[in-house]
């Protein structure tokens, strides 16, 4: 998880947790899409009713290495720059050796021992110190990165994808793909896809009370109810029965 200063420093900033860096971001892809109706639109109609802007999508192709070149790449490994003495091979004194060999050519008998001594006499090399990126403890870059991404996905956490040109806030991880082959060595190619999550704020309000009728309001009369004549009701029933017999037959 390292910062690549040569690619603008693209990294992830989860809304809960520490930032996530990569060794190298090889490609950034941003999709700003929209959906348009396929049906004809009447001239003069509100075009916005037939055009809908979709949520942004971001896809990063990164490389995760077990040999980081940047201190920020693996903060969990407690990396530091420390001075280290370079173990350089010692070389013979070239000037002294050449002059001794030249004398040996003129007087091979008297200077042969001097020539051999010049070849075997190393000069005093200077001590060279160099700042080297070192780690106090072993680490596994891929395991650390996948653990961090899985924790965000398990909690449905929101992530800000910060690039050199734009900050895409409120994104969720939709895809994590790892790819290893003979060319990656101990490293891993990884593709991480994000999509914007639309969040709205809701508010609860109290419903207005139902108005109550005043206590002194007289009840509304339903109207006069006329009593029914039993004979008339029986005549209507007999007439209906006679009609049914004439249609379907029967005694």
Rounded CA-CA distance 171/195 in Å is 5
Identify whether the C-beta of residue 4 lies closer than 8 Å to the C-beta of residue 25. yes
Where are the chain's structural domains? 5-37+52-76+138-196
Distance of CA 137 to the CA centre of its chain: 27
Query: Which pTM was predicted?
Result: 0.58
Identify whether the C-beta of residue 206 lies closer than 8 Å to the C-beta of residue 74. no
- pLDDT, residue 216, reads 67
More confident residue, 155 or 122: 155
**Closest residue by Cα to residue 173 from 189, 152, 143, 148:** 152
Identify whether the C-beta of residue 26 lies closer than 8 Å to the C-beta of residue 62. yes
The string of pLDDT tens digits covering residues 125-161 is: 567 777 777 777 777 888 888 999 999 999 999 999 9
More confident residue, 10 or 218: 10
The string of pLDDT tens digits covering residues 82-97 is: 777 777 666 555 555 5
The string of pLDDT tens digits covering residues 17-72 is: 888 888 889 999 999 998 888 888 777 767 777 888 899 999 999 998 887 766 65
- pLDDT, residue 176, reads 95
* CATH class entry, domain 5-37+52-76+138-196: mainly beta
């Amino acid at each position: 998880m390292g910062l690549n200063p040569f690619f603008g420093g693209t990294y992830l900033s989860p809304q809960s947790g520490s930032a996530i860096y990569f060794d190298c971001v090889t490609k950034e892809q941003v999709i700003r899409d929209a959906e348009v109706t396929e049906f004809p639109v009447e001239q003069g109609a509100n075009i916005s009713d037939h055009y809908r802007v979709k949520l942004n999508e971001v896809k990063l192709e990164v490389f995760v290495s077990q040999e980081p070149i940047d201190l920020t790449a693996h903060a969990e490994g407690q990396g530091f720059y420390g001075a280290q003495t370079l173990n350089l091979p010692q070389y013979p004194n070239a000037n002294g050796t050449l002059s001794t060999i030249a004398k040996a050519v003129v007087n091979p008998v008297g200077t042969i021992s001097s020539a051999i001594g010049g070849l075997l006499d190393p000069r005093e090399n200077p001590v060279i110190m160099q700042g080297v990126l070192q780690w106090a403890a072993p680490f596994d870059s891929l395991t650390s990165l996948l653990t961090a991404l899985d924790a965000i996905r398990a909690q449905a956490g929101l992530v800000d994808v910060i690039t050199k040109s734009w900050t895409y806030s409120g994104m969720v991880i939709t895809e994590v793909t790892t790819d290893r082959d003979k060319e990656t060595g101990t490293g891993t190619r990884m593709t991480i896809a994000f999509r914007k999550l639309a969040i709205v704020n809701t508010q609860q309000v109290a419903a207005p009370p139902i108005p109550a009728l005043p206590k002194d309001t007289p009840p509304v009369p339903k109207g006069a109810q006329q009593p029914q004549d039993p004979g008339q009701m029986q005549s209507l029933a007999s007439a209906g029965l006679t009609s049914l017999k004439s249609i379907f037959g029967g005694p």
